[in-house]
Amino acid sequence: MRIGITGTGSYIPSLITKNEDFLEHNFFEVDGSSFEYQNDVIIEKFKTITGIQERRYAKPEFNTSDLGHLAAERAIVDAKIDKESLDYIIFAHNFGDVSHGKIQGDTLPSLATRVKHKLGIKNTGCVAYDMLFGCPGWLEGVIQAHAFIKSGIAKKCLVIGGETLSRVVDEHDRDSMIYSDGAGAAVIEAQENNGEILSHITATHANGEAYYLYFDKTNDQEGCTNTRYIKMHGRKIYEFACTHVPKAMKDCLDKSGVPIERVKKIFIHQANEKMDEAIVSRFYGLYGMEMPSDIMPMIIDTMGNNSVATIPTLLDQVRKGELPEHSLKKEDVVIFASVGAGMNINAIVYQV
């Protein structure tokens, strides 16, 4: 039996925030000083580096668990399974449910339990738990689901990645323009004619790198010093990712035994367009090859970086034909790769 993805679903929030909507923001350096450039210049540089032109935010009445539930429903329908047959629900996120206008993350009960409740699943043998693993959380959830099924303790797993990062960003930090909201989900199960996870690899770099992403106060020196927001050392993350992710991808591909020429697509965490291009280019460079022009589907330009939701959302869009320039067919080999807070890296080689 081949263990793989039998259904996908995603929920893309309806509120669109364009780059020009940040023109009136008061951005400050970490020490509270003003930037040398005006906002129009800051925003143009931001677009050039990240590729982001707009991002999606959840409506005030929706929390992360709501987005995850909507994505999960679609994945279950796509997989054509009975929801009561699920053995595990794994929900990858980083901040829990942060209600609109509030500053606390809520994980009591877990988001996976909330989704199970919203789905109306009565089977008590369906175990629901959350995954905190930074942006690579959804991929790590898939890796765990694969292990559960391979070991025989599960037959069907639902893995969700969801986030409402718009509610944990500092409006006075220019990095706030990167983050967005959304959710994606996939059903993992064993079937004879299924897609198949061929290999996977995971690593945690915490010897000096642990706090490249962290929580801290606003850049506005007159703001509340007790409220914390997502912060990052952008240059360090860029250098870290470009150094370590290509090698992890190569190790994973070599482990699978599949030649690089068979790789049709690379689904990489939509973090920063230039960084993702550099990672994939360096990955091919490790094989003495040039990066193919159509290898890397991207949706960051209109979706922003919604952390754990980026890869499952991207995969769902390609599978459903919503990115006409990219498609998958039976037996195609693809690579999934992600990097994020922790600092965690993982990759999966997958045959469709």
Which pair of tokens denotes residue 79?
A: 């997989």
Is residue 67 within 8 A of residue 183, CB to CB? The reply is yes
Burial of 244 (0-12, 13-18, 19+ CB in 10 A): middle
Q: Let me know if 200 is a catalytic residue.
A: no
Distance separating alpha carbons of residues 152 and 215, to the nearest angstrom: 39
Q: Let me know if 100 is a catalytic residue.
A: no
The active-site residue, picked from 19, 94, 135, 219, is 135
Distance separating alpha carbons of residues 184 and 68, to the nearest angstrom: 7
Burial of 325 (0-12, 13-18, 19+ CB in 10 A): exposed
Going by C-alpha positions, the residue among 323, 293, 336 that lies closest to residue 161 is 336
The active-site residue, picked from 219, 272, 305, 344, is 305
Per the listing, tokens 């901040």 go with 95
The active-site residue, picked from 126, 269, 272, 306, is 269
What beta strand segments (E) does the chain contain? Answer: 2-11, 15-18, 54-57, 88-92, 127-131, 156-164, 181-191, 196-204, 213-216, 229-232, 263-268, 333-340, 344-351
Q: Let me know if 135 is a catalytic residue.
A: yes
Which pair of tokens denotes residue 330?
A: 């039976």
Distance separating alpha carbons of residues 133 and 131, to the nearest angstrom: 6
Question: Is the bond into 109 cis (omega within 30 degrees of 0)?
Answer: yes
Provide the H-helix boundaries in 26-120: 39-50, 64-79, 111-119
Which pair of tokens denotes residue 90?
A: 């794994």
Distance separating alpha carbons of residues 35 and 149, to the nearest angstrom: 52
The residues annotated as belonging to the active site are 135, 269, 305
